[in-house]
Structure 1
Amino acid sequence: MRLSLATPTDTREFGIRLAGVLRPGDLLVLSGPLGAGKTALTQGIGAGMRVSGAITSPTFVIARVHRPDGGKVPLVHVDAYRLSGVDELDDLDLDASLEESVTVVEWGGGLAEQLSDAYLLVEIDRRDDDVRDVTLTGHGGDWVERLATLAAT
């Protein structure tokens, strides 16, 4: 699935739509350059999941858990930018909560995919005119069907 998002607000709104097809155990791996909109997308996902707390980049704390506030599923938000490898990601013990939460890993390419047999890769590229080109690629599981549902909304 490919789409273009003109503003950060559009990116957050798409995150809200994306949250509608997410469920416990889902892993999303976000990639893209600094300022591409990874955190804005996660803010939208959090809003759509109705979790508590402001969603900000977890660069310095590496991972935050946002508990449901009217929603039913926690959101685990990870920033793997400062991690030097798979071992450090593994040390976060994310697999302990993976089955009961939605886990979003920014800068997770090459690291986070091993956490689950099925995951959604979200690649965001920010053009010179600030439009974000987003490509969603499902790996394993029923992502193809869920992305088709998302595209239809």
Structure 2
Amino acid sequence: MPAERTLPTTADTEEFGRMLAGELAAGDLVVLDGPLGAGKTALTRGIAAGLGVVGRVSSPTFIIARQHRAGPHDGAVALVHVDAYRLGGGDHLLDDLDALDLDTELEHAVVVVEWGAGVVEHLAERHLLVALRREPESEVRTVTWEWKTS
């Protein structure tokens, strides 16, 4: 049964990401689902902060994937942030995913994939599915999350 929470502001979405990061370790796959403007990148910024990565986190829309190295403090974990929206569909999808080499990245980092539902779950034996929904004409978001086995 998925857990659910209301996130009234973008800051709340980022704080929720920091909280989620406490449950993550290198090798974990996080699949983000939600429409445009639902808060997927804000959530990823929070996860990155919680993991202790170095550098600014922004949407990887046009470059498909961004790698963020772990910070210098103990316990920091690297992050790979992927936007699957622009990956080719159909017969080319598996080739595009293979070119990103995400299964190798999973050994050393937490991999967060925006628009990843139905696309990347096969990369790991289990994944955290996080679904974000935004209330119409509002900043209020609803998030559900649960670990799933592939």
TM-score, L = length of structure 1: 0.88
**Which stretch of structure 1 is more off in the superposition, 62-71 or 105-114?**
62-71
- Once the two structures are aligned, what percentage of the paired residues are identical? 56
Q: How far did 1:14 drift?
A: 0.6
* Partners of 2:47 and 2:79 in 1: CA distance: 9
Name the aligned partner's letter for residue 34 of structure 1. Answer: L
How many corresponding residue pairs?
A: 141
Aligned to 1:41: 43
Aligned to 1:28: 30
| Mapped pair 1:68 → 2:77 | no
User: Which blocks of at least 5 consecutive residues in structure 1 are unaligned?
Assistant: 142-153
* Partners of 1:64 and 1:132 in 2: CA distance: 25
SS at match of 1:138: strand
Q: How far did 1:42 drift?
A: 0.3
* Partners of 2:86 and 2:105 in 1: CA distance: 21
* Partners of 1:15 and 1:114 in 2: CA distance: 23
Divergent runs of 4+, >6 A:
none
* Partners of 1:25 and 1:77 in 2: CA distance: 13
Aligned to 1:144: none
SS at match of 2:145: strand
| Mapped pair 1:51 → 2:50 | no
| Mapped pair 1:83 → 2:87 | yes
Selected match of 2:113 from 89, 105, 113? 105
Q: How far did 1:109 drift?
A: 1.0
User: Which blocks of at least 5 consecutive residues in structure 2 are unaligned?
Assistant: none
Name the aligned partner's letter for residue 82 of structure 1. Answer: R
SS at match of 1:81: helix
SS at match of 1:39: helix
